[in-house]
Structures are given as structure tokens and as C-alpha cells.
Amino acid sequence: MGRKAALRAAGSDKLLHERGRFLIMTHLAGREDGDTASFTELKNALGYTSGNLSIQLKLLSETGYVDIVKRFKDNKPLTTVKLTAKGWKALDAYIEDMKRIIDSLKR
């Protein structure tokens, strides 16, 4: 695939192209103990404010890329976020798009 064709093919998922959402998705995907994390873990690991993280997670949830579960643990609210099958598929496709772009730039 030529450079121009690779660039045209890129950006198939503009939602994941935004850095913050991409970091959330890759953080969830890279967890050694599964693809679920608490809201607090994501906030601390990525350095987001609660408001910013909430907005990004809402967008990812509305698209079906993550499931958000709110419950109580020891009488305290606990929000967890998990990648869905659709989210895994979208992340894999986005990474493949980026690889094609990078490969097209190699000389």
C-alpha cells in the first residue's frame, strides 16, 4: 500500500484517534489481570480529572467500546470500566491502521 493510500485508509475510528480515549482503551487492554479497571485507578494512572475522565468514558460507553458498572463495595461507591468485545475489535483495527501508516512512511 502506498503512502497516500495508507493515509486515506487511516482514521477509520476518529473516536479512538483522540489521545485521551486511546490511552483509556490501551490502559484497559494492557492490564495483566484482565481488561477491567476502577474509575479511581484510571484517573490516577492517566492523570485525568474526574470530570474529564467521566466525559471520555461516557463517549466510549455510548459507542459500546466499554461497559461501566456502578455498585457499592463496603458501603462506598465503586465504578468499574471494562473493554467490550466491540472495544477490543475497534482497538485492534485502529492499531492496524496506525501500523499501515507507519509502514508506508518507511523508506
For residue 6, CA distances in Å to 15, 44, 55, 57, 103 come to 19, 35, 31, 29, 9
pLDDT (tens digit, 9 = 90+) per residue, 73-98?
999 999 999 999 999 999 999 999 88
Question: Which is nearest to 56 in space by CA: 45, 43, 38?
Answer: 43
pLDDT attached to residue 14: 84
Across the chain, mean pLDDT equals 88
Average pLDDT of the residues in 68-72? 95
CA distance 51 to 38: 15
CATH value at residue 79: 1.10.10.10
pLDDT attached to residue 8: 54
What are the DSSP E strand ranges found in 22-75? 36-38, 66-73
pLDDT (tens digit, 9 = 90+) per residue, 21-51?
999 999 999 998 888 999 999 999 999 999 9
Residue 5 has pLDDT above 60, yes or no: no
User: Taking the model in full, what pTM does it have?
Assistant: 0.83
Range of the domain at 36: 3-105
